[in-house]
Structure 1
Amino acid sequence: MKRRSFVKASLLTGAAASILPNSSMATSVKAKPGTEFYELRVYNLKNETQQKLVEDYFQNAAIPALNKLGSKNVGVFTELKPEGQTKIYVLIPYNSIADFLNVQEKLDQDAVYKEKGASYLTAPASEPAYERIESSLLKAFVHMPKMEVSKQGQRIFELRRYEHATESAGKKKLEMFNDAGEIDIFKKLGFSPVFFGETLIGDHRPNLIYMITFDDLDAKAAHWKAFGSDPEWKKVSAIPDYSDSKLVSHITSTLLQPAACSQI
């Protein structure tokens, strides 16, 4: 292995270990073959000029290059109801943790990527392409180890983050999704989930994040109403160990719409 690659991988894996010390979550980077990892980026922008720079970068440079490296179905989204200038949400799937660790070095060696993305990659400090990027690394749930791309056409997406008071509460909520059938209830009721991910590195840990999709806001309201009254959900949620008051300390829901370049 080249020394630069070794040092980079060591620093990143070391950072992950330092963030997850003496925790059962520290073993989460190890995954069964076929389990995807996701990078969820949130671009904070100040104006439409920055929005166009970021969207053009993904359309012309990043998405083609990432697809070539094996990251298929890259999602790019804007907020459905932004407060001021929209943020841009980007979901990048990786086939393994090694792919995530090595992607930047491979992009740096891609001349076409650097040429197509130059206006974004080399934007001057006086006119940056974005204000800041928030980024999280997620591991797909056992019961849904790969992303499922929803149907094309007019649709909206809901990105939901469940925060937990403790790591043990987070593990119990994962159990509820994977083993107690919560993911199956979502699919049965037609929520069309895109992914479910445990946050390994990112803000507001411990938490899990997932994305579901609907035709429109009326469909969203109808689906959640059906979920709340579903007999299987009532049975699962009535189990004392699965009480939301014990497992979920805060829920953040963000409504999104796909950008023109989005592959999801």
Structure 2
Amino acid sequence: MKLLPFLALAMLATTLASSAADTDTRVFEMRTYHTAPDKLDDLHARFRNHTMQLFEKHGITNIGYWTPIENPDNLLIYVLAYPSREARETSWKAFQADEDWKKAKAESEVNGKLVNKVDQLFLNATDYSPAIKPSAGSAERVFELRTYTTTPNNLPILHERFRDHTMTLFARHGMTNLFYWHLLPDQPNAENTLVYMLAHASVDAAKASFTAFRADPDWIAAKKASEEKGGGSLTIPDGVKSVFLKPTDYSPTR
């Protein structure tokens, strides 16, 4: 590797590391709502006009709200933050007992319930994640939620590869690193799961960026070295899942 490109890469890595949330001990909750048919707009209205404000009233931080760009299942995905798991339980009890919430929920469900099922993930920030806080891009952005399932015992090596190489190379190829999480220990598959989110100018821009990233000699070398260390691929077959998202009009992260 030539010296100047190496120095530039090292400086970028230092910049990313300096913004990492290595002291962020908060608990994050990713909630996925499976809405009833034709009820997604009503759910958006309830969040926009009531739920978000009531969350904040009870000490719950709104990070971002998204829907898949292709959304045949009528999903709403959002992320909240709490000081701790115990604080989360206290806040939700107070929120659910709030008379304003009970009224908003009842009025929104006059013609039937809005949500059929809720999926939850409880997460902590990785030590290399950029600061996890709401943000808005200077232009409209597309978001990509990526979930990796590793081969046995290789999650630490995957973290190492992201920390030392992948994030910097993503940035080199025009991708914005937003949030990186691992699951809390009591969550299923916590020992082999990485969840993270990127931002792109568009879906086409994301595809172009990943094509350039995968052809980058620095990535090829980092991938080879990490797989030699891990005894093969760090992810199981079909172990990388990607969903492109668009922010809702009321999302703090846009």
TM-score norm. by structure 2 comes to 0.77
- The Cα offsets for residues 205-239 of structure 1, whole Å up to 9 and x where unpaired, read as 53111111111122111211221123432231121
Report if aligned partners of 2:123, 2:182 keep a CA contact under 8 Å in 1: yes
- The Cα offsets for residues 92-147 of structure 1, whole Å up to 9 and x where unpaired, read as 12343343232202313544444444435xx47x9222111111111111012631
Within 2, Cα distance between the matches of 1:55 and 1:203? 29
The residue identity in structure 2 corresponding to 1:46 is A
Q: Please state whether the residue corresponding to 1:171 is helix, strand or coil.
A: helix
Asked if 1:252 is matched to 2:241, the reply is yes
Q: Please state whether the residue corresponding to 1:144 is helix, strand or coil.
A: coil
For residues 227-238 of structure 1, the aligned pairs below 5 Å read 227-238=213-224
Report if aligned partners of 1:38, 1:137 keep a CA contact under 8 Å in 2: yes
Gaps of 5+ in 2: 1-20
For residues 181-200 of structure 1, the aligned pairs below 5 Å read 181-200=165-184
Within 2, Cα distance between the matches of 1:215 and 1:86? 24
Q: Please state whether the residue corresponding to 1:48 is helix, strand or coil.
A: coil
1:27 maps to none
2:10 maps to none
Asked if 1:102 is matched to 2:90, the reply is yes
1:208 maps to 194
Which protein has the bigger strand share?
2
Asked if 1:143 is matched to 2:143, the reply is no
Asked if 1:77 is matched to 2:63, the reply is no
Report if aligned partners of 2:144, 2:243 keep a CA contact under 8 Å in 1: yes
**Which 4+ residue blocks in structure 1 deviate beyond 6 angstroms?**
none
RMSD (Å), alpha carbons: 2.7
- The Cα offsets for residues 36-79 of structure 1, whole Å up to 9 and x where unpaired, read as 33211111123122x12321222122211233445444311111
Which residue of 241, 255, 262 maps to 2:251? Answer: 262
Which residue of 90, 103, 111 maps to 2:78? Answer: 90
Measured after TM superposition, the shift of residue 195 of structure 1 is 0.6
2:28 maps to 38
Gaps of 5+ in 1: 1-30
Within 2, Cα distance between the matches of 1:182 and 1:61? 39
Within 2, Cα distance between the matches of 1:56 and 1:243? 50
Within 2, Cα distance between the matches of 1:85 and 1:224? 27
Within 2, Cα distance between the matches of 1:99 and 1:185? 37
Report if aligned partners of 1:191, 1:212 keep a CA contact under 8 Å in 2: yes
Report if aligned partners of 2:30, 2:77 keep a CA contact under 8 Å in 1: yes
Report if aligned partners of 1:150, 1:192 keep a CA contact under 8 Å in 2: no
* Identity among equivalent pairs (%): 21
1:58 maps to 47
Which residue of 132, 136, 146 maps to 1:160? Answer: 146
